[in-house]
Amino acid sequence: MTDLVELAKRRGFFFQSSEAYGGVSGFYTYGPQGASLKAHVEETWRQRFALAEGHMQIDAPTVMPEPVFEASGHLDGFDDMLVECAECGESHRADHLIEGATDIEEAESLPTDEVAALLDAHDIVCPSCGAALAGQPVEEFNLMFETNIGPGTSQTGYLRPETAQGIFVEFPRLKEYARGQLPFGVTQIGKSYRNEISPRNALVRTREFTQAELELFVDPDGDAPDVSAVADVDVTLYPAANQPDGDYVETTVGDAVAEGIVDPWVAYYLGVATEWYETIGVDFDRFRYRQHQPGERAHYASDCWDAEADVSAPGEAPEWIEIAGYAYRGDYDLSKHAEHGTETFTVFKQYDEPKTVERASVDPDMSYLGPEFGGAAADVADALAALAERDRTAFEGEEVAVDVDGETYTVPTEKTGFEFAEETEAGRHVTPHVVEPSIGIDRTVYTVLAHAYDEDEVDEGERTVLRLDPAVAPTGVAVFPLMDKDGMGERAREIAADLRADGYDVTYDDSGNIGRRYRRQDEVGTPFCVTVDYESVTEVPETVTLRERDSTEQVRVPTADLGAVLADLRAGETTFDDL
């Protein structure tokens, strides 16, 4: 990790932000190479998860009002209770202090004023200096960044801790764009924020990070994934039951579903994701899908598999990091927002054939119930309605009796408006379930770099090389004159301009000897270098040398064919050996 971070800093992939002011923990800036690499990773993700799957893409705000997170559970479920010592200023976990001093377990679930009262009642003292903590306020430390929306403190807002909420809250409108048809998917690539207590390991745990998320909304009773589309994809699985022993399951997506190892929806996206990971150059010998242990899952997930990558340097101990989560979230999110929000978070699903159902209903005569039962009238009416659904035979006699709060009320059947009729149902209201591939872009970028990083020898000289896939490499091709004289520089500049006009990201470099320039490009992962030499400017038709990064071998290519040759190489339609 150290060598890679040093290279990243030196060559402009990423570095810590605001270093001129001492730096701030958990924030990174992508430099020229890194910003390009990251953009390519995001674009390939968009191609595979949005375009190729026929899903839509949105771009929601990073700031959302407090009630959104009350609904999502992030406000309650994401708190640490802190108490600050008036004497020495140290902060401590109040719930932990109470658990240590009393028989209470799970003090975290108690309200803060109760926790404060317990601190008083048990004379709990500061572990650092021994001063009494009685009377100190207990503050909640929430891992969300808080802000004010508008002037003053009228409305509290939070920076989203995951992009998903931006999709869920807009579901009522998004379902209109999907014309109410399940399943449909919505993707979003954007920043999320968590005020981590302890940011670590460069891009791996930061306080501001980019997520690429897909929320696929499905009918739990009617929709199934097309597993056949990815059935042959090889995957390395690490099921929860195997984790004590460390045994992987090498299988295919199709077999994993057939054997019931992975939920079919999750498995489908493991297949899609695997294809994507391949295009961006993830090394599958250092990659696995690990199932969450039952106790490890988030509050919303019913099953979850993480993509994990080993980002250790060659020869070092394995260092597995989580780079994505593939979760079946059930209807948790939409149900919560339906509960808290003002709109409908369901989809109307029409039956193939309308169903005829027999339904008992009541329409009580309130002008009778009111005078007769006074304040209990409304409850009696509700009880009648419930009874009609439960037991229609109760309405067969002259009178109907219902219990309300332990008292029995008798109503003449004719005053209940009881009716038994056939109704036609065209369909049902479904709260969709959510399948969520959630990708940490920064961690994925880090993985791509770690897996591309290599050191080898060229002509007895040591070389550092990033073997980045051309699909994500920041620079597509570099163009050099062998020397900047005898017309070679002018010609090389023309060729560079032509390639740029063709849409290539081109680096032009005439500084230092040719070997040095090749090494510079090796370190930023440029897959191909074009060199204009004496032969180029003297012979007809003009040719240039094309040098491949990984093998360092080169071939002569007619300048006229250069654009087409590079396009084929980038698309994988030819390999360098074919040339």
Partner RNA sequence: GCACCGGUGGUCUAGUGGUAGGACAUGAGCUUCCCAAGCUCAUAGCCCGGGUUCAAUUCCCGGCCGGUGCACCA
Tell me which residues touch RNA (CB under 7 A).
1, 6, 9-10, 16, 22-26, 74, 77-78, 80, 90-91, 143-144, 161-162, 194, 196-202, 205, 298-301, 325, 458-459, 461-464, 482-483, 511-516, 518-520, 522-523, 531-533, 544-545, 547, 552-554
- CA separation for the pair 12, 28 (Å, rounded): 12
Q: Minimum distance from CB of 163 to RNA (Å)?
A: 12
Which residues touch 455 (CB under 8 Å, ≥6 apart)? Answer: 314, 462, 463, 464, 465
Bridge partners (DSSP) listed for residue 348: 429
Residue 270 or 394 with smaller CB distance to RNA: 270
Burial 294-314 (b: 16+ CB within 10 A, else e): eeebeebbebbbbbbbbbeee
Query: To the nearest whole angstrom, how small is the minimum distance from the Cβ of residue 355 to RNA?
Result: 38
For RNA, the closer of residues 221 and 459 by Cβ is 459
Q: Which is nearer to RNA, 17 or 47 (CB)?
A: 17
The string over 317-341, giving b where at least 16 C-beta atoms fall within 10 Å of a residue's C-beta and e elsewhere, is eeebbebbbbbbbbbbbbebbbeeb
Nearer to RNA by Cβ, of 385 and 496: the residue is 496
Question: Which amino acid belongs to residue 383?
Answer: A
Q: Which is nearer to RNA, 202 or 237 (CB)?
A: 202
Q: Are 2 and 314 in contact (CB under 8 A)?
A: no
Nearer CB in complex with RNA: 328/409: 328
Cβ distance to RNA smaller for residue 30 or 409: 30
Taking the CB of residue 382, how many other CB atoms lie within 10 A of it?
A: 14
Distance from C-alpha of 285 to C-alpha of 462, rounded to nearest angstrom: 25
Q: Residue 304 half-sphere exposure, CB side, CA atoms within 13 Å?
A: 24
Residue 331 or 533: the one with the smaller Cβ distance to RNA is 533
To RNA, the closest distance from the beta carbon of 305 in angstroms equals 13
Helix (H) or strand (E) segment spanning residue 212: strand 208-218
Nearest distance, CB of residue 29 and RNA, angstroms: 13
Secondary structure E strands in 247-370:
249-252, 287-291, 303-310, 320-330, 347-361
Select from 572, 514, 562 the least CA-distant residue to 542: 562
Q: Which is nearer to RNA, 205 or 336 (CB)?
A: 205
Rounded to the nearest whole angstrom, what is the least distance from the CB of residue 561 to RNA in the complex? 16
Minimum CB separation of residue 432 from RNA in Å reads: 18
DSSP 8-class letter at 313: P
Residue 534 beta carbon to RNA: minimum distance, rounded to whole angstroms: 8
Does residue 190 contact residue 143 with C-beta atoms inside 8 Å? no
SS3 at position 65: strand
| Tokens encoding 175 | 């379902």
Closest approach, Cβ 50 to RNA, in A, equals 22
Check if the beta carbon of residue 349 is closer than 8 Å to that of residue 430. Answer: yes
Nearer to RNA, 190 or 364 (CB): 190
Residues linked to residue 355 through DSSP beta bridges, in sequence order: 425
Tell me how far apart the alpha carbons of residues 535 and 5 are, in angstroms, rounded to a whole number.
40
How far, in Å, CA of 351 to CA of 306, rounded?
Answer: 36
Question: Are 230 and 253 a contacting pair, CB within 8 Å?
Answer: yes
Min separation Cβ 226 and RNA, Å: 27
Q: Which is nearer to RNA, 171 or 332 (by Cβ)?
A: 332
Q: DSSP per residue over 455-471, as a string?
A: EEEETTEEEEEE---TT
Among 559, 338, 441, CA closest to 28: 441
Total number of residues shown for the chain: 579
CB of 136 to RNA, least distance (A): 16
Choose between 78 and 345: whose C-beta lies nearer to RNA. 78
- Least distance from RNA to the Cβ atom of residue 320, Å: 12
Q: What's the min distance (Å) between Cβ of 53 and RNA?
A: 23
